[in-house]
Amino acid sequence: MGVFKYQSPERALFGFGSLQGIQDEIRSRKLTKALLVTGRDLADTAIVKNVIYALEAADTGYALFTDFKPNPTTNNVNQGSDAFIRNQCDFLISVGGGSAHDCAKAISVVAAGGGKIEDYTGADKSSRAYPLIAVTTTAGTGSECTSDYVVVDEAQNRKYGNSDRNVLPVLAVDDYELMMNMPASLTAGTGMDALTHAVEAYCSIDGALITSELAAAAVRLIFEHLEPAVISPDRKSREGMAVAQFLAGLAFGNAGCGLIHSMSHQLSAVYDLPHGLCNAILMPEGSRTNRKAPEAEERYAALCEAVFPIESRDMTTGERADYLIERIEKLSEAVGTKRKLSELGVKLEDLSLLADKTLLDASLRHNIYKPDKEEIETIFRSLM
């Protein structure tokens, strides 16, 4: 490979209690009023109150925006842009996981450029965006360190991903103190999301050595820390997952995702299901389908060797690829994300439509194997 373009947030704060560092960033940029984008479930918590305290300490005003779904819609974004302009804000702070960060990214583009979010579908369609500080409370989507964001188009009942370098946060905050009280189910779902990011980035046709190393490090950390974080969380497991999801975010933010995300997006759009849980359910069978490409088997085997060097020492390439997928499936079962799609309300009669929508998803272009509609539908059907 020749020149590889790498991007990341301008700055990042890590560590227990690092949230208070946002005051210096706000002061240094002479920012005056934030649109504080956060979910309704967080709005009255100590986490958001601490963010507000930091804003007040920096002599900065704010307006609160909570009117968005877990899978943000085009309507949510356009309303958020109106709120940004109406309240005369000059930057955004997103507090939460991928839902808040993605919604804030989309709002920043529309508020700066005008029109509607539907006008910015694709890559780098904006000329500018307002500054964004992304405060992460889950581990994780990695959205705080990428230029990617996804929005549900209500008119087409489809979830699509945009990529725009102008929405890269000026500051990413990964304060694992904010993650200490995550519920087990949320810890499991977001953790498996991070694992999907890392595995798909490692196998992406658009990756490079730097993204492979980031992804492998993330996978190692997730296998070490996710199960403890779900079952008996402590500072060590929370910190491990906070770092893992950030590394995975850097990996997929530069290399892209693949088939699993393309399928997961459709489940979120049609059934409004949790993104991380969908990824967890799809990952083993999606990976087995990808193995049809010889180079994919080699990538899975190489990742297995990097993460499980002792266990895989005497294995063949095929055995290593199989072992990695088996370990992913066992981890999903251990943390409670191995579910049937039918349990979540997915209908057999919708599988053809879901497969059609998957083939249109932008993430599929990074995938190491090019499945057809029948193969995608077969994956969905096998998980019913």
Q: Which domains does the chain have, with CATH numbers?
A: 11-179 (3.40.50.1970), 184-382 (1.20.1090.10)
Instruction: Tell me: pLDDT of 272 over 80.
Output: yes
Instruction: Tell me: pLDDT of 348 over 60.
Output: yes
CB-side neighbour CA atoms (13 Å) of 348: 3
pLDDT of amino acid 3: 79
pTM of the model: 0.95
* Triad 37, 252, 215: Cα angle to 5°: 120
pLDDT of amino acid 293: 94
Closest alpha carbon to 315 in 293, 300, 330, 335: 300
Please state, in angstroms and as integers, the Cα–Cα distance from residue 354 to each residue in 170, 282, 364, following that order: 36, 13, 14
* Triad 134, 28, 44: Cα angle to 5°: 40
Query: CB of 205 within 8 A of CB of 43?
Result: no
β-strands 158-163, 148-153 pairing: antiparallel
Span 169-225, pLDDT tens digits: 999 999 999 999 999 999 999 999 999 999 999 999 999 999 999 999 999 999 999
* Confidence tier at 90 by pLDDT (50, 70, 90): very high
pLDDT of amino acid 25: 87
* Confidence tier at 280 by pLDDT (50, 70, 90): very high
Q: Which residues 6+ apart lie within 8 Å of 280 measured at CB? A: 188, 189, 192, 193, 195, 196, 332, 337, 338, 339
Element (H, E) at 38: strand 33-38
Span 106-150, pLDDT tens digits: 999 999 999 999 999 888 888 899 999 999 999 989 999 999 998
Span 2-21, pLDDT tens digits: 678 889 999 999 999 999 89
- Reported in sequence order, the residue ranges of 49-190 that DSSP labels E, i.e. its strands, are 61-65, 91-96, 132-136, 148-153, 158-163, 171-174
pLDDT of amino acid 1: 55
β-strands 91-96, 132-136 pairing: parallel
